[in-house]
Structures are given as C-alpha cells and as structure tokens.
Amino acid sequence: MSAPREVPEPEARPDLGAVVRNIWNMPTETRIVRPGPTPDTVLTERNETLRAPSGWELLPPGDAGLTRRVKAAGPTWTVQEKRGRKVFSRGVWAPRAHILAAQSALESERADPAYGRRLDAARARREKKQVAYVEDFRGAVLTYLDFDPRHEALAQRLADAVTAHATPVGSGTVARTERIPLAQRAESAVIAWMRHQTTAYDDMSIARIKGERRRVRQMLAARSKALLARYRRGEQAQQGLCPLAAALRASGG
C-alpha cells in the first residue's frame, strides 16, 4: 500500500476587520476630527478617541498662510467643532518640525519688502471688487423691490439699509454667499432685514419643536411680502402706521 498523502493545511484568511481597524487607527493619517475629552486628544467621525502622536503639537487657528503650508508639508489633523449650523476651527495638529519650518519660511518671506507690496496690491483688488459688488447688490435690491414711482424715495432708503447691513465682508449674511444667484440673495436679504426690523421676531418665544422656527419665518416672510406688494401697487400707507417706514426712521435710513 502506498503511503497516505499529506493534505496541506488551508491558508489562514486575513482578519478583514482587524485590517480595517489597523488602517483606521493609523495615527498619522490626515483627517478631520473634533475636540477630545482632554487637550491632547481628538474624536474621530466614528467617535473614537485618538491621542496626538509624539512630536505633534496644535497649531492655533488665525494664520491661514501658515496653516496652508503646514497642511501641505504632510499629515495633519484638522480640529473642527460644530455649534448649531456653524463649524468653527479649533486648530490643526501637525508634526512640530513641520510647524517650525513653515513659521521660519513665512517669517523670511514676510520680511521681504516685495511681500508687503503684494499684500497691498491684493488688498486693493479686494476693495475694488467689494465696491463693485456693493453697487451690484444694491441694484439687485432695487430691482426686487420694484416700488411704484410714488414710493421711489422709500425704496432708495430701504435699499441703502439692506445693503449696508448685508454686504460687509465677514458679515455672514445671505448676501455674502455665492451658492445662489444675486437676485435671490437680494430678495432673501430684504426679507431677513424686514423680519428683524419690522416684526417682533427677535423677541418671540418659539417652541423648540422641529420645523417651528421655519414655520414662523415663513409666516413673517409672507407678511413682509404682502407689505412690499402694497408699495409696488402704489398704495398710500396710513401715516405713522407702516412698520417699514417706522423701522427706516428708527435706523436713521
């Protein structure tokens, strides 16, 4: 009889779960995280706590140029904190050597007089662009208002008030977004201004029910649009009873 053949043992299959966990827990992967329970920890999107790698430090927010260079130099952890609908930067974790190198390079560059000239030129371009945008936005507001000629003076005052409130850089208003057309920005800015200036919205006690604040805003927007429609038709408001005229007087418009 022939000797029995040896049957090779099957190869062990890799633990895919372990592979995924190892990939996820690689400490030097670039990622977006949230503040952790202690100053040297962060939370991942899977709510896992990671400790900052040895030799890393937190670069505070505030210097966009420095942050860009540090991110370009290698892996980083960008710390973001969401409050309501807004997301705030809490800094960037990165290797200390990368931060120091970027700081040194920037200090040398910023000490060069040519850097100051480039800054001045860029600032002048932004200011020119802002002046043009303010003019375009005010024109879009007047187009949206479309008041009867008898109320042209009121339309001009309202356009000035809305534009002054909505267009400053960094104001965070709908006028600063580029996600919607200019005409829609103008309409939204007018309705928002009227909501705060001609209604009791700011003093309302709104129930914490999903969709309730949106419902209240829609109701007030309908009232504001009805009031604007009266001026488009050329109707005369009763002396002292128009909330729009009263709001403009109170704001000095």
Q: Give the neighbor-by-neighbor strand order of the sheet with 86-95.
A: 49-51, 41-43, 31-35, 77-83, 86-95, 56-59
**What does the alpha-carbon distance between residue 155 and residue 163 come to, in Å, rounded to a whole number?**
12
Alpha helices (H) in the chain, listed in sequence order: 16-24, 64-73, 96-111, 113-145, 152-166, 182-197, 212-232, 243-250
Check: CB of residue 154 under 8 Å from CB of residue 246: no
| pTM higher than the cut 0.85 | no
pLDDT at 85: 79
Encode pLDDT of 142-158 as tens digits.
Answer: 999 999 999 999 999 99
For 63-88, letters b (16+ CB in 10 Å) and e give eeebbebbbeeebbbbbeeeeeeeee
Kindly report the average pLDDT of the chain as a whole number. 88
Intervals of the chain under pLDDT 50: 1, 12, 14-25
Please tell me the predicted confidence (pLDDT) of residue 225.
Answer: 95
Specify which residues 81 forms β-bridges with: 88
Residue 240 CA to residue 224 CA, distance in Å, equals 17
| Nearest of 180, 251, 181, 195 to residue 225 by alpha carbon | 195
- CB-based contact 52:77 (threshold 8 Å): yes
pLDDT in tens, 34-59: 999 999 999 998 999 999 999 999 99
- Mapping DSSP onto H, E and C, the string for 194-234 reads HHHHCCCHHHCCCCCCCCHHHHHHHHHHHHHHHHHHHHHCC
Q: Which two tokens stand for residue 70?
A: 């540090």
Q: What is the DSSP letter of 176?
A: G
The span from the CA of 226 to the CA of 229, in Å, is 5
Rounded to 10 degrees, what is the CA torsion of 62, 64, 70, 76? 70
Question: Phi, psi at residue 42, to the nearest 5°?
Answer: -135, 165
Q: Which residues pair with 59 in a beta bridge?
A: 92
Nearest Cα neighbor of 24 from 54, 51, 46 is 46
